[in-house]
């Protein structure tokens, strides 16, 4: 159990607002033999501490200051993984540490196998898990990024299989607070089929050109709050995904709030491209976008689409983004001409989207709102929106019930609004305001 002195010391390593109690038992990885010297592989000691914490019914697994090199490890219910300031949990970068014995990295590179890969820190069917502290979890991703980028150059849009940094599946009450996540081989933090998730005060970093290094990917999860995070990565800053239906839910991904975050390099706040399970009740509020490749982004395509509804964006600022608003039912590209096709269960359906108090500068076009000819984007409101673009204006195509209120778009190339096969209310006033 925690002594008063130990409680005071550990509390100093916690983000504000998070507390430990005297009843919690501490499993210090040093006491299990971890060296923390950055050279010794400490996997056995770290996993033993996690195992004994889980077997004891919960507690705190503590990483004091030091660099702990490790292969993949697994976390259990009622566990707080606490990284003190100056503590780094660093992944090994040898592919064989993440692959089944019968699969080689060469098999993956040559397309003979997709793995499966073991993620660096993972857990399944859990309750009450916290990953916290002022330390760092580092995925040692540099060795993985170059072959991934080479594969993407050969086949645009292709994602070379790699391990993720943190993948938690089926967890109720997950908290990730205060820590820094960096240099993931692929995605940094994936809560899949989780409920009651808090991600607060987290810094997530990867080089701008690091392929597929999404920061936070809530996948088929609900009641998720992402707040006061700083994210600077090579792909989606946040990507809300919904690849399949979940029993008993209208939408697999729902009730997700993103507030007071700063996004730098990356592809913005995305919904999709997997939306077949449905996404609803998403709010993005008081966030800053600085040089991101996208700002607002909803993306999917026929064959992987579903219902996306009740999406709210409020009080956003964007500087030098490459497209402030991207709402499209085509991915990765919008075709020049496209005839209507039969509607199926996986036809994208977007409705009830509201964008309020947006001020943006775009280094390219203002953006797009584009539905399918057989499935129009419906009920989109833009209110108090200002976009200055160095390229084209805002394209609205295959849409019904778009309403513009106090909208001003300045485009250096062509008209401020390019409208085709769309019913847009307030367009005349918006054109006047954009002159």
Q: Which residues are catalytically annotated? A: 235, 267
C-alpha–C-alpha distance, residues 231 and 289, integer Å: 10
Residue 107, SS3 per DSSP:
helix
According to DSSP, the residues that pair with 28 across neighbouring strands are 62
- E strand segments, 322-413: 325-328, 349-362, 367-370, 377-389, 394-411
Residue 146, SS3 per DSSP:
helix
φ, ψ of residue 19 in degrees (nearest 5): -130, 155
Angular region, 406: left φ>0, alpha ψ -120 to 50, beta rest: left
Task: Report the length, in residues, of the chain.
Answer: 435
C-alpha–C-alpha distance, residues 206 and 215, integer Å: 9
C-alpha to C-alpha distances, 162 to 45, 120, 137, 185, nearest whole angstrom: 25, 10, 17, 6
Residue 290, SS3 per DSSP:
strand
CB atoms within 10 A of CB 184: 34
C-alpha–C-alpha distance, residues 217 and 219, integer Å: 6
C-alpha–C-alpha distance, residues 307 and 375, integer Å: 11
């Amino acid at each position: 159990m925690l002594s008063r002195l130990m409680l005071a010391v550990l509390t100093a390593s916690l983000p504000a607002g998070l507390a430990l109690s005297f009843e919690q038992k501490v499993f210090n990885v040093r006491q299990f033999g971890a060296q923390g010297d950055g050279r010794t592989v400490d996997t056995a000691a770290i996993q033993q501490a996690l195992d004994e914490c889980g077997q004891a019914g919960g507690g705190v697994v503590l990483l004091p200051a030091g660099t702990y090199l490790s292969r993949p490890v697994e976390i259990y219910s009622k566990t707080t993984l606490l990284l003190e300031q100056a503590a780094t949990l660093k992944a090994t970068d040898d592919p064989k540490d993440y692959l089944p014995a019968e699969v080689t990295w060469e098999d993956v590179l040559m397309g003979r196998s997709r793995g499966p890969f073991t993620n660096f820190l993972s857990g399944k069917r859990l309750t009450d898990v916290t990953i916290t502290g002022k330390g760092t979890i580092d995925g040692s991703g540099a060795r993985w990024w170059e072959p991934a980028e080479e594969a993407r150059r050969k086949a645009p849009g292709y994602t070379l299989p790699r391990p993720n940094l943190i993948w938690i599946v089926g967890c109720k009450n997950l908290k990730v607070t205060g820590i820094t996540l960096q240099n993931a081989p692929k995605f940094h933090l994936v809560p899949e089929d989780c409920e009651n998730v808090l991600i607060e005060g987290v810094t997530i970093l990867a080089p701008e050109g690091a392929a597929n290094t999404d920061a936070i990917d809530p996948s088929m999860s609900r009641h998720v709050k992402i707040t006061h995070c700083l994210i600077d990565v090579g792909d989606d800053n946040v990507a809300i995904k919904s690849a399949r239906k979940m029993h008993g839910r209208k939408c697999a991904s729902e009730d997700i709030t993103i507030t007071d975050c700063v996004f730098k390099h990356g592809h913005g706040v995305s919904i999709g491209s997997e939306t077949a399970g449905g996404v609803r009740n998403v709010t993005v509020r008081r966030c800053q976008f600085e040089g991101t490749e996208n700002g607002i982004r909803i993306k999917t395509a026929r064959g992987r689409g579903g219902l996306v509804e009740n999406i709210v964006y409020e009080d956003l600022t964007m500087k030098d983004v490459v497209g402030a608003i991207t709402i499209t039912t085509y991915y990765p590209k919008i075709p020049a001409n496209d005839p209507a096709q039969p509607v199926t269960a996986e036809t994208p359906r977007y409705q009830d989207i509201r964008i309020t108090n947006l001020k943006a500068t775009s280094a390219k076009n203002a953006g797009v709102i584009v539905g399918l000819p057989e499935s129009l984007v419906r009920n989109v409101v833009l209110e108090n929106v200002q976009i200055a673009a160095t390229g084209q204006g805002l394209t609205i195509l295959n849409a019904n019930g778009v309403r513009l209120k106090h909208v001003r778009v300045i485009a250096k190339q062509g008209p401020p609004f390019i409208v085709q096969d769309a019913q847009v209310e307030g367009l005349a006033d918006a054109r006047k305001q954009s002159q």
